[in-house]
Structure 1
Amino acid sequence: MNTRAAIEQLLRAGYGNKAIARRVRVRHQRVAAIRADLGLPNVVRPAKTTCSDDAFWQRTQPVAGGHLNWTGVPCLRTTDGMLTAYRIAFRIRWQRDPEGPVKPGCDMDRCVHPDHVEDQPMRQLYTAIFGEVAA
């Protein structure tokens, strides 16, 4: 695949200019020019996320059942210090900081899908409603 085709594919997948530039090893101005040629809008990230969404998604791998495996190191350095993938996923989904430990609420150990992670109050509410679940 040539460089322009790779850039176009990543642009259509929703990646930001700088993330594409790093991945394809070109200047971000070239990516911006191709974005403009295609008439695609710039990617706007939510203001509350202190970790680049690109940094999170680049370190995940989809697996069967809609789950995500984390492929990077256990933590990412953010403007708030070092955060686990679970805490970053929680922030992406809920737009707030989690309370207590964050764990996957699905049946897959180590899943970091933002829709699958729960903080301590969520687990306590589940337990209050349904009782303890046998492991």
Structure 2
Amino acid sequence: MNTRAAIVELLHAGVSNHNIASEVSLGHRAIAAIRAELGLPNARAIKGPPQVDDLFWRRTQPVDGGHLAWTGHRNNTGVAAIRIGGRMYTARRIAFRLRWHREPAGRVTTSCDFDGCVHPDHVEDQPMRDQYTAIFGKAAA
């Protein structure tokens, strides 16, 4: 994947200009210019300590098919997670807040077929799954 394609993917995933700049070793103004060209709003911080979103992006790796693999810590049950100040934040819940700018209701699951994907566009909470079932029926779930 070329650098611009990686930047575009990270911008669409909600990563801040600063975090992308440090990830691809490019100035944040260049990232801001690409964001403006794409018409994307500035990234919003998620609930929790300010470093949670930064740590999330530092512990993920884009993979083929538009997925995002977790490269960081897993808790004692194997769930992708970040511990800050004695509190555990699961990667899927962080991804959900990055994408939807709200707290998830119920368990957050992956909506794609890539095992362990934590891409913000590929996670859903219980109300989203309930809505899908209401529209398409249980056989489609």
Counterpart in 2 of 1:9?
none
Q: Structure 1 residue 75: deviation in Å? A: 1.2
- The question of 1:94 aligning with 2:92 is answered no
Q: Counterparts of 1:80 and 1:69 in 2: how far apart (Å)?
A: 24
Give the count of matched residue pairs. Answer: 109
Q: Structure 1 residue 46: deviation in Å? A: 2.3
- Name the CA shift for 1:79/1:89 in 2 (closer, same or farther; >3 Å): farther
* Structure having the higher Rg: 1
Q: Counterparts of 1:127 and 1:118 in 2: how far apart (Å)?
A: 13
Letter in 2 for 1:59: R
Counterpart in 1 of 2:126?
120
Q: Counterparts of 2:101 and 2:131 in 1: how far apart (Å)?
A: 19
- Name the CA shift for 1:72/1:48 in 2 (closer, same or farther; >3 Å): closer
TM-score (norm: length of structure 2): 0.61
- The question of 1:60 aligning with 2:60 is answered yes
Counterpart in 2 of 1:106?
112
Q: Structure 1 residue 15: deviation in Å? A: 3.3
- The question of 1:132 aligning with 2:138 is answered yes
Which one of the candidate residues 8, 14, 18 is aligned to 1:15?
18
Q: Percent identity of the aligned residues?
A: 54
**RMSD (Å) for aligned C-alpha atoms:** 3.5
Confirm or deny: 8 A CA contact 1:70 1:112 kept in the other structure.
yes
